[in-house]
């Protein structure tokens, strides 16, 4: 008897009529699993890599199906931008959808920030990367697409760390004004999106994205988020509401950078800085960082944060094993040409130090009444009304699998050049009824 396919045990399986081979699990979440795939139709080794997001097919007529269709449509609309992850195609079998995108071997931006601290005292590099992210968000807004879940985990980075790519449009919307409070990841939500003020009739999704960019910018400058949640119950946010210079008094950021954050974190959404103006302010700033002399004359909070962020050794990021350790592909020899980045370590090497827990406060020796800023947390989605039904959730990923026949699919593999013109037709076609005995070539 055939066993029903799941998203969590497909390593070693083929999709796209044998063209793509799933070789490794590279990510997982409540809605599905992301695999690294090889394109076996590549003419010369090594084969091209893709990231394949596998999600269970939602029942017809369900809200989950609507969300799946919408996520594909939104990403296809904007993925021609150089800083938005390219969507190549969507493949389906009887049980799952496979969303095929570019693979970014640099990993996600959260891990990059935690393991490398790459922007310390590097204004030019910080500007370059942040403006790429800002331009990606502005490109979405120009298409009336508002992301609503901008966070480091939803940003990918290239192997050479010179390009970033916005991804995961599962919570995006075309509504400039939303009443879906709490949609996104709470550490990056604006106060009006969190929805603690019951008198609000909704919030601006555009301004909510601007707020999230501000949280990310601060973490790039000094490795901290400004607060846990932007509510008056949070001591750090309450201190900021009372004194808009609070961040400049507790973190080693320059006066010009502090002015940017005052404009981004305006409590009144309509007074918040626009993306074009924010871009201009970032371009014109001389430095985001305090000088050593300014730090020496600042509070103990600033001195402590500077010592931790600027002086501590940086842990080495994790490295990938050679491809031949993952899986054997008949007809391919990877002995001299692996697909992992340079400096691959042996699999027995100890893992890198994990990022500090969000509840670990910055320790200050002096008795300063100002609440301490906390380290960058890993965001959690708080969008229960937007999630697929419980039946769609798959936890406890299985890495082992039994041999199985190749998954039969019926989708083509279009090039990026034709995607912009064809994405609407693609979105409509991928949800046609599946026939397991028919395959398109």
In eight-state DSSP terms, residue 108 is B
In contact, 273 and 280? CB cutoff 8 Å: no
pLDDT tens track for 94-106: 888 999 999 999 9
pLDDT tens track for 18-34: 999 999 999 887 778 99
The tokens of 127 are what? 């500007």
| pLDDT above 90: percentage of residues in the chain | 52
Catalytic residues: 149
The predicted pLDDT at position 199 comes to 64
How many CB atoms neighbour CB 167 within 10 A?
24
Binding-site residues from annotation for ATP: 53
C-alpha angle with apex 214: 209 to 215, nearest 5 degrees? 100
- pLDDT confidence tier of residue 233, bands split at 50, 70 and 90: very high
Buried b or exposed e, range 245-281, using 16+ CB within 10 angstroms: ebbbbbbbbbeebbbbbbbbbbeebeebbebeebbeb
The tokens of 35 are what? 């695999």
Q: How far apart are CA 190 and CA 168, in angstroms?
A: 19
The tokens of 420 are what? 């912009």
89-98, 285-294, 403-412: least confidently modelled range: 403-412
| pLDDT above 70: percentage of residues in the chain | 68
Binding-site residues from annotation: 53
Q: What is the mean pLDDT of the segment spanning 336-347?
A: 34
In contact, 191 and 199? CB cutoff 8 Å: no
The four Cα atoms 252, 256, 261, 262 give a dihedral, to 10 degrees, of 120
User: Which residue blocks in 223-342 are alpha helix, DSSP H?
Assistant: 235-242, 246-250, 255-264, 275-284, 292-296, 300-306
Q: What is the mean pLDDT of the segment spanning 171-186?
A: 88
pLDDT at residue 300 greater than cutoff 90:
yes
224-228, 326-330, 413-417, 435-439: least confidently modelled range: 435-439
Which domains are present in the chain? Answer: 14-102+388-429 (3.30.200.20), 109-309 (1.10.510.10)
In contact, 147 and 275? CB cutoff 8 Å: no
The predicted pLDDT at position 148 comes to 92
The predicted pLDDT at position 197 comes to 63
Q: How far apart are CA 53 and CA 22, in angstroms?
A: 11
pLDDT at residue 423 greater than cutoff 70:
no
3-12, 37-46, 95-104, 336-345: least confidently modelled range: 336-345
The predicted pLDDT at position 114 comes to 87
Q: How far apart are CA 101 and CA 82, in angstroms?
A: 13
**Of residues 337 and 28, which shows the higher confidence score?**
28
The predicted pLDDT at position 140 comes to 97
The tokens of 169 are what? 């449009």
pLDDT at residue 130 greater than cutoff 60:
yes
pTM of the model: 0.74
pLDDT at residue 339 greater than cutoff 50:
no
pLDDT at residue 428 greater than cutoff 60:
no
Q: What is the mean pLDDT of the segment spanning 148-160?
A: 94
Buried b or exposed e, range 300-324, using 16+ CB within 10 angstroms: ebbbbbbebbbeeeeeebeebbebe
The most confident of 234-238, 326-330, 361-365, by mean pLDDT: 234-238
Q: What is the mean pLDDT of the segment spanning 324-334?
A: 45
Q: What is the mean pLDDT of the segment spanning 301-312?
A: 86
pLDDT at residue 1 greater than cutoff 60:
no
105-114, 220-229, 322-331, 425-434: least confidently modelled range: 425-434
The predicted pLDDT at position 440 comes to 35
Q: Which residue has the tokens 């502090």?
A: 258
Q: What is the mean pLDDT of the segment spanning 228-250?
A: 94
Q: How far apart are CA 154 and CA 167, in angstroms?
A: 5
Residues 6+ apart with CB under 8 A from 292: none
| φ/ψ bin of 165: left (φ > 0), alpha (ψ from -120 to 50), beta (otherwise) | beta
pLDDT tens track for 353-371: 333 333 333 333 333 444 5
How many CB atoms neighbour CB 221 within 10 A?
25
Q: 309-313 long-range CB contacts below 8 Å, 24 or more apart?
A: 309/117, 309/120, 309/222, 309/223, 309/224, 309/252, 310/120, 310/121, 310/252
pLDDT at residue 213 greater than cutoff 60:
yes
The predicted pLDDT at position 313 comes to 59
């Amino acid at each position: 008897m055939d066993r029903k396919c799941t998203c969590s045990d497909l390593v070693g399986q083929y999709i796209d009529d044998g063209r793509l081979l799933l070789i490794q699990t590279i990510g997982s979440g409540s809605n599905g699993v992301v695999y690294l795939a090889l394109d076996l139709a590549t003419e010369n080794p090594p084969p091209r890599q893709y990231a394949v997001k596998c999600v269970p097919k939602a029942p017809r007529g369900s809200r989950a199906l609507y969300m799946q269709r919408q996520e594909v449509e939104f990403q296809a609309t904007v993925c021609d931008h150089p800083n938005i992850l390219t969507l190549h195609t969507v493949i389906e079998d009887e049980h799952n959808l496979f969303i095929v995108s570019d693979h970014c071997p640099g990993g996600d931006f959260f891990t990059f920030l935690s393991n490398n601290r790459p922007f310390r005292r590097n204004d030019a590099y910080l500007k370059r990367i942040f403006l790429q992210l800002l331009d990606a968000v502005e490109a979405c807004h120009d298409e009336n697409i508002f992301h609503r879940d901008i966070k480091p985990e939803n940003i990918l980075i290239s192997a050479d760390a010179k390009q970033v790519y916005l991804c995961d449009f599962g919570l995006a919307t075309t509504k400039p004004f939303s009443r879906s409070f709490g949609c996104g990841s709470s550490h990056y939500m604006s106060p009006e999106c969190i929805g603690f003020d019951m008198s609000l009739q909704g919030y601006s999704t555009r301004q909510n994205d601007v707020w999230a960019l501000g949280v990310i910018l601060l973490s790039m400058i000094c490795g901290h988020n400004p607060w846990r949640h932007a509510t008056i119950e949070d001591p750090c946010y309450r201190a900021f509401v009372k004194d808009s210079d609070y961040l400049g008094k507790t973190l080693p950021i320059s006066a010009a950078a502090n002015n940017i954050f005052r404009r981004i974190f305006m409590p009144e959404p309509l007074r918040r800085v626009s993306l074009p103006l924010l871009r201009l302010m970032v371009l014109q700033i001389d430095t985001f960082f305090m000088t050593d002399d300014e730090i020496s004359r600042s509070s103990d909070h600033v001195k402590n944060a500077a010592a931790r962020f600027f002086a501590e050794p940086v842990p080495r990021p994790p490295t990938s094993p050679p491809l031949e350790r993952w899986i054997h592909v008949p007809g391919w020899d990877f002995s001299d040409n692996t697909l992992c980045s340079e400096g691959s370590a042996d699999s027995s090497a100890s893992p890198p130090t994990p990022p500090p827990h969000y509840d670990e406060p910055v320790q200050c020796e002096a008795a300063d009444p100002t609440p301490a800023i906390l380290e960058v947390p890993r965001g959690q989605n708080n969008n229960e009304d937007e999630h697929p039904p419980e039946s769609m959730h798959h936890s406890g990923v299985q890495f082992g699998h039994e041999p199985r026949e190749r998954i039969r699919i019926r989708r083509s593999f279009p090039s990026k050049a034709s995607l912009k013109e064809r994405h609407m037709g693609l979105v409509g076609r991928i949800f046609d009824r599946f026939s397991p005995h028919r395959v398109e070539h």
